[in-house]
Amino acid sequence: MIAYVTVGADDIARAKRFYAAFLPALGYGLTEGPEGLSFALPAPDGQSPVLPDFYVKPTFDGKPASAGNGAMVAFEVPAQAQVRALHAAAVQAGGTDEGAPGFRAAYGPQFYVGYLRDPQGNKIALFSANPDEPGRDD
């Protein structure tokens, strides 16, 4: 199981605007400190944390942050309408559209996805595979 994902950012304030545009809608809470942004899903008292956490941090070596070539982080969203709404909110908050929400021929008939780049260039996917919604072939 993946415990956490970290992406680097040179401008934490810009990154916060971007990620705060959609992660709270997916249930993530935000804590902010000198080490950057920490997004975590809530865990009931006495239970293990719900994983994975998502961190946005300055680089440890002090060099400029860069996006990984071929790296992408995907967040599951409950419904296709929410994929569209959160994708639009993230673009409005400083992200870049990397592929409008919709079905892709290369994926399963229920896989509805929108792609983004955060302000640092990290690739993000918001997807829904809800079997109760219309699929690509419906």
Give dist(CA 104, CA 33) in Å, integer: 38
1 pLDDT exceeds 90? no
Q: Is 27 part of any domain?
A: yes
Predicted TM-score (pTM) of this structure: 0.93
Q: Is 108 part of any domain?
A: yes
Kindly tell me the sign of the dihedral angle through the C-alpha atoms of 38, 90, 22, 54: negative
Q: Is 135 part of any domain?
A: no
CATH of the domain at 121: 3.10.180.10
Q: Is 136 part of any domain?
A: no
Residue 44's pLDDT is 87
Q: How many domains does the chain have?
A: 1
Note the pLDDT tens digit of each residue in 27-68: 999 999 989 999 999 998 999 988 999 999 999 999 999 999
Closest of 37, 64, 56, 62 to residue 118, by C-alpha:
56
Residue 35: give the domain boundaries: 4-60+67-128
Residue 138's pLDDT is 85
